[in-house]
Structure 1
Amino acid sequence: MAEADPQTMPLADTAAPAKKPVPRWRKALLMLGVPVLIVACGLYYWFGHPGEVATDNAYLKLDIVSVASEVPGKITKVHVKENQIVKAGDILFEIDPSEYENAVSQANAQIAAAQARVTALGADVDATAADLAGARDDLALAQANYRREKELMDRGFNTRARMDAATHAVASARDQLQALQADVAKAKAQLATGSQVPGVNPEVAAGRAALSQARLNLDRTVVRAPVDGRVTQVSRLNVGQSAMAALPMLSIVRDEGARVEANFKETDLTQMRPGQKARITFDAYPDLELTGHVDSIGAGTGSEFSVLPAQNATGNWVKITQRVPVRIAIDQKSSRPLISGLSTEVTVYTGDE
């Protein structure tokens, strides 16, 4: 028997063995496990952190002090640069002092003039007092002459003309005495002092007050830092620029007093109280975490203090969860620089399990 043609011989079954069917219990487990896992994740999201409320609608706040010149004038020197750290009392910039130095000189001249006037009035009082003594003597002499002329007239040895002359002399002497007495009283009144500045002539006191104000204004031409902090907005300061009184020229951001203004949903305030501990994280510093506490809870929602508060008076009213500002005090010193306005995330531990 001839050998069979190998090409016509049936090939051996080389196909891979068929996969075993997945057991039904596994299918049921997958079908039930996925929805259960989704529900569990949802429950963990809502209830996984009992006793905590958190918000990422929170921003770091620092005290910013606006610095303005108290007197107007031209800026002559600028001593600071942008972001420079200064201490309270450091010189920030200077204003041309020429006008205020002149005011000091004028005030000194005013005091000198008042003092000279006081001296002159004192001399006038002394001179008038001497004239007053002479006037009294003149009156006494005129009265003595009148009495002699009157005795002669009574005895019939005098004329009416002499009596009239004696009478006129007495009247003139009396008028002169009264005029001098009035001058002395006026001079003494000008030298008198009031109860507000006892012992000091009012004109001298006014001059001293003007001098004190002039010196104060001169001192104010050197503008100093009122607090410690970091200088900003220095670009508004230029030599030769005119500074206006009470117009802010730069700002100082204080390092102390850092806090977080966190806007929590009104539904998160149920168990929130001042004094509760808080955790603060920063978007700018992922590795930085600070501790703090609830300092205070705002007296109104953000919409209440807006320029145009919302008025939900239409028929299509939709209830919107409001945000309430909560101030979070920072309890520890930061290892990184704190910049006003940084975005933060705040978690408050309310203890509501």
Structure 2
Amino acid sequence: MNEGEESSTQAGHQEEPGKSEDRSNGDDRPDQKESEGTGNTRKPRKKLPLVILAVAVVAIGIGAFFWWFSTRNQESTDDAYTDGNAIAIAPKVSGYVVSLAINDNVYVHKGDLLLVIDKRDYQARVDEARAQLGLADAQLHAAEVQLDIARVQYPAAYRQAQAETESARADLRQAEKDYAREHGVDLRATTQQNVDAADARAATARANVRQADARLATAALVPDQIRQATVAVEERRESVSQAHAQLAQAELNLGWCEIRAPADGWVTRRNVQLGSYLQAGTTLFSLVTPPVWVVANYKESQLDRMRPGDKVKIDVDAYPSLELHGHVDSVQQGSGSRFSAFPAENATGNFVKIVQRVPVKIVIDSGMPKDHPLPFGLSVEPTVYFK
């Protein structure tokens, strides 16, 4: 009995360590599962940032590729602005403004009356010039009459002088014959009275010949006298031409008192008021005429493939909903700094290379609203699409 009890007791003691091991094993397994579970969840957490980074790099690469692919045939710049023609309106005559028909920023058509300068002084000058022209015409008519008279009278006077000279010479010859006859006969055959009379007739005949020669010499100047009359006519004609020119200038000045629009456009920068005194040549306002174009300052590295005729899309900062289309008109033959008031001097030893910008003129083809013109100087962003 005692041996049986001891054996059973030993057997029981032997079984208890096994149970304890089983229990210990049973107690350790949940810890192992927790440790295994904890290890499995920590490894993915370490790989997740790498995966996100890889995905981001791939996405950026794909985006960069598509961006390059879509923009490889285009160039854009935000250094661009609108530009156009602005006509400076200035008077050609001085005077007070008596009528002003315009206001700021209004649209006018070619030929519209803009303002009127006081005409009274210029009208008086026109009247004076017309009077001078009438006087010059009268003097010309008188000179032409004198020329006609000279052409008839002077040759007739010359012929008359010739005839008188011949008559005087004939009288002289007859007187000399009488003189010779009276002095050639015996004094008893004649009288002293006849001799004295012959002497007197001879002397008178000689005097008449001298007078006739003098008149003939004067009448011989007929060509010079006609030429002088012709010169007088030419001088009067020049006076008439001068009077015509003075009248034309006076009428021009009178017409310039009315300033009209030289073209269609918008009145801008008006600095004239009713009653103002205007000096000739002083700018009164500017007339902005259509069309409007774009001047884009592209970098020199962007001009390699740019050619006139390339299509352009234009975005206007002031009007985001407005999309304009145009084309490259021309590329300026020189950078902006080259034509500045003080161009850079790179031969002084302090050269620093700077990327230059070249102005490119872009003409707007479509998209411009007729009732909504673009002012000059607006910032735009043109995009040139290469062919």
Q: How does 1:68-217 map to 2 (within 5 A)?
A: 68-125=90-147, 128=150, 129-130=152-153, 133=156, 136-137=159-160, 139-155=162-178, 156=180, 157=182, 158-159=198-199, 160-178=202-220, 182-192=224-234, 201-217=237-253
Per the TM alignment, residue 102 of structure 1 is displaced from its structure 2 partner at its CA by: 2.2
Which letter does structure 2 place at the counterpart of 1:108?
A: R
> What's the CA shift string for 1:2-61, capped at 9, x where partnerless?
xxxxxxxxxxxxxxxx9x658243232124334555565566666652211111111011
Specify whether residues 154 and 330 from structure 1 end up closer, same or farther in structure 2 by C-alpha distance, changes over 3 A only: same
**Pairwise CA distance, 1:280:** 0.1
The answer (yes or no) to whether the contact 2:312–2:385 under 8 Å persists in 1 is: yes
Relative to structure 1, is the Cα distance of residues 315 and 39 closer, same or farther in structure 2, using a 3 angstrom cutoff? Answer: farther
Change (3 A) 1:154 1:301: same
Where in structure 2 are the equivalents of 1:239-278 lying within 5 Å? 239-256=274-291, 258-278=292-312
Indicate the structure with greater helix content: 2
Distance 1:61 1:72 in 2: 32
For residues 163 and 263 of structure 1, do their structure 2 counterparts lie closer, same or farther at Cα, with a shift above 3 Å needed?
A: same
TM-score normalised to the size of structure 2?
Answer: 0.75
Distance 1:318 1:259 in 2: 33
Instruction: State the Cα distance separating 1:124 from its structure 2 match.
Output: 3.2
Deviation at 1:348, TM superposition (A): 0.6
**SS of residue in 2 equivalent to 1:272:** coil
Query: CA offsets, 1:263-299, max 9 Å, x none?
Result: 1111111211111111001000000001111111121
Task: Provide Cα deviations, 1:157-209, integer angstroms capped at 9, x if missing partner.
Answer: 5335224312222123214424666444422332359xxxxxx9332222222
Render the CA deviation track for 1:305-353: whole Å, top value 9, x for unaligned.
Answer: 11122234566644322111111111114123211111000111114xx
Quick one: distance in 2 between partners of 1:223 and 1:121?
A: 42
Matched pairs, number: 325
Q: 1:289 to 1:77 in 2, by over 3 A?
A: same
After superposition, the CA RMSD in angstroms is: 2.8
Q: Compare CA radii of gyration and give the structure with the larger one.
A: 2
Which residue type is aligned with residue 255 of structure 1?
P
5+ residue gaps, structure 1? 1-17, 194-199
Aligned equivalent of 2:331: 297
1:318-329 alignment runs, 5 A limit: 318-329=352-363
Closer/same/farther in 2, CA of residues 143 and 313 from structure 1, 3 Å limit: closer
Q: Say which SS state the counterpart of residue 56 (structure 1) adopts.
A: coil
- 162-171 or 314-323, larger mean C-alpha shift: 314-323
Alignment partners' CA distance in 2, 1:28 and 1:333 = 50
SS at match of 2:275: coil
> Offset of 1:136 from its aligned partner?
3.9
- Equivalent residue, structure 2, for 1:3: none
Matching residue of 1:338: 374
Instruction: Give me the identity figure in percent.
Output: 34
Find the counterpart in structure 2 of residue 26 from structure 1. 48
Q: Distance in 1 between matches of 2:61 and 2:147?
A: 107
Post-superposition CA distance 1:88-127 (Å, at most 9, x none):
1111112222232222222212221122112222443455
Query: Matched residues in 1 for 2:149 and 2:356: separation?
Result: 87
Q: Which residue of 1 aligns with 2:187?
A: none
Give unpaired runs (5+ residues) of structure 2.
Answer: 1-37, 183-197
Distance 2:303 2:254 in 1: 54
State the secondary structure of the residue aligned to 1:274. coil
Structure 2 residue matching 1:301: 3-state secondary structure = coil
Distance in 1 (alpha carbons) for counterparts of 2:337 and 2:53: 47
